[in-house]
Amino acid sequence: MTRYPRDMIGYGPRIPDAQWPAGAKVAVQFVLNYEEGSENNVLHGDAASEAFLSDIPGAAMWQGQRHWNMESIYEYGARAGFWRLHRLFTGADIPVTIYGVASALARNPEQVAAMKTAGWEIACHGLKWVEHKDMPQEDERATIAEAIRLHTEVVGEAPRGWYTGRCSENTVRLAAETGQFDYISDAYDDDLPHWKEYGDRDQLIIPYTLEANDMRFATAPGWNTGAHFGSYLKDAFDTLYAEGQEGSPKMMSIGLHCRLIGRPGKIAALKRFIDYIQGFDDVWCPTRLEIAEHWAKTHPHERRARPSEMSREDFVANFGGIFEHSAWIAEGAHGLELGPAHDSALGLHNALCRVFRSAGDDKRKGVLTAHPDLAGKLAAAGRLTAESASEQAGAGLDMLTDEERATLIRMNADYVEKHGFPFIIAVRDHDKASILENFGRRISNDTETEFVEACRQVERIAEFRLKDLLP
């Protein structure tokens, strides 16, 4: 048995109504990453200088040396960029979420005071602005714990949001296991918050962005001018706003960095974008914590049994009857590479059908012959499976006239004699008259054609049965 842990379906076509406050068509959320003073630096005990997200083209880490130019660019973010952004957002009366690296916050107390005075949310952005991917799991767990401790000491209250950025495959789980965070944002997988389960912890994930993000001023392909960035933001907003008008409100995250967007030639585009969205009355500009609180209240998590997580015994007990009297199909499906994509009716239907389709003709014929005649002897004796009894009753086959019953008995016998298996039809697609019409037409098919059609109908019946059990 193998399991594929990635969630490739998410909400799929079942997008929930965000129900943003005051009927907002879109929630536009600004994040300001505060990393200045936490980057790789030999002064911080690191082996080399920083080389990530600066205006130095092709920057490389200097082993064992301070990189004076790199340091001064980060210092610009703290000395000038932050304050320019502080004036912009407080002047626009828009609260932002700070992704604050704990060690950077500790080295910038005046900026922390300004964040708090403005009423901004200060989420935790890790202990240092360094890669987590190569950290042993226990080291990363300890690093997360120390980040929470130092953040609480510096800010005066514990963080309720977490974003690492340079994370490992373990980061989200380890952060969730602390039980500390209302949300975690190390994900880029949706336009809406969603829940993940880690043991007993129901963890809200609020996805972030690497595309509506000023980091692309420092990466390739990226923004060459502020106008490029501003144009992209406007296009993204207009698309999401239109979706909100159509009844499907989303969230727009915008990622900013003091040392990047804080430069005069870049921030002008951000200001124009803010002016633009403030021309709409039905746009919500919250912090990420406000989104988390709203989502937890409006869309609380509900745990349910998930097929991909079931034991073989439970899986067969739940789905062994989906294909009539053919539990071997469920047994085979349980051994496939199941994952979150198979926890819906259509997803699990695909897995079960794969086993059915790959079986030989004899085994598939066995599935066909396991089906009862329509309104036949088993129905009369009350010996149908619960599913078959409900389906036949739903089509009115339990309320036949004597003439209709006699006709069906005769047609059943003629069909089986000709084809070697009973007439099968997904009765939920039909009424009594339509069933009789299809019966009369299909009985004249050649057996090869009818075998293919009967198998298709078996799969359709299975789909209906799964939809009774799963989303």
Active-site position among 294, 349, 371, 419: 371
Rg, Å, the chain Cα set: 30
- Please confirm, yes or no, whether 299 is among the known catalytic residues: no
DSSP characters over 222-282: --SSHHHHHHHHHHHHHHHHHHHHTT--EEEEEEEETTTTTSHHHHHHHHHHHHHHTT-SS
| Nearest Cα residue to 340 out of 1, 16, 10, 2 | 10
The rounded distance, in Å, linking the Cα atoms of 125 and 104 is 10
Strands 2-3 and 250-257: unpaired
CB 311 within 8 A of CB 331: no
Distances (CA, A) of 355 to 310, 328, 363, 449, 454: 18, 9, 11, 21, 16
Distances (CA, A) of 218 to 209, 229, 259, 311, 464: 15, 12, 10, 48, 52
Which alpha helices (H) appear in 34-136, and where do they start and end? 68-76, 82-92, 102-106, 109-117
DSSP characters over 365-405: HHHHHTSPPTT-HHHHTT-S-HHHHHHHHHTTTTS--HHHH
| Nearest Cα residue to 97 out of 158, 159, 40 | 159
Catalytic sites, residue numbers: 371
